Structure 1
Amino acid sequence: MDPFLLIMIAILALFMLMTFRRGKKMRDAQSAAVSGAVPGAEVVTAGGIVGTVVARDEERQRVTLEFSGGDRVDFQLPAVQHVLTPATSPEEPSEEPSEDPSEETSEHEDR
């Protein structure tokens, strides 16, 4: 077999392998951004719009972002490209724990 043909096939195979790996990395990054778009997170959309997630609708595949002016806009979930600031989880303990147990119960009743 011609050595030139073998080199060309090897280069083509290497190019295809690199293309598939790059595509997988991009899909994984997109998936991570969409899963991180939970209420409280600051995200960037595909159009470069930065906002804070205030609501997420899995059924309709939409996320509502709030901007610094207080305006809210719905986007499709795949439009979220990056998570700038992850949401603080509600399971995190507060910095100043309440010492009176009656205060804790009254806070939970208001919710």
Structure 2
Amino acid sequence: MFGAQASFKLSWWCKGENGDQHKHDIVSFEKGNITTAERSSKQISLKWESDPQTVLILTKPNSVSVRILCAQMVRWLKEKKKKNIYVEPRVRAELLTESSDFNYVQTWKDGK
């Protein structure tokens, strides 16, 4: 269903006693393996090692403003960033009701 997977690292930075900064990797995903280290309540950043080619978009049901933003984001991701886009079956149906131009958006069958 999905192509190659992009590697990422989830890290947090903290300042040491001497004002120097330390980076701590919390989660990393490389070659299909997810590894975790310690947990932290510090600010955490997600950095992709390579650009993801596929994006999954989840939306809040029954929200007109979210539906409008979703359509704008889907167009931008496809036209400007050339990404493959997956959405929930309900969202794909909503997008196709708005315009048949969204036929490139992918989904899955409910219950699978």
Category of TM-score, reference length = shorter chain: under 0.3
Structure with the higher fraction of residues in strand conformation: 2
The structure that has the greater radius of gyration is 1
* Larger helix share, 1 or 2: 1
Q: Relative contact order, CA 8 A, sep 6+: which one is greater? A: 1
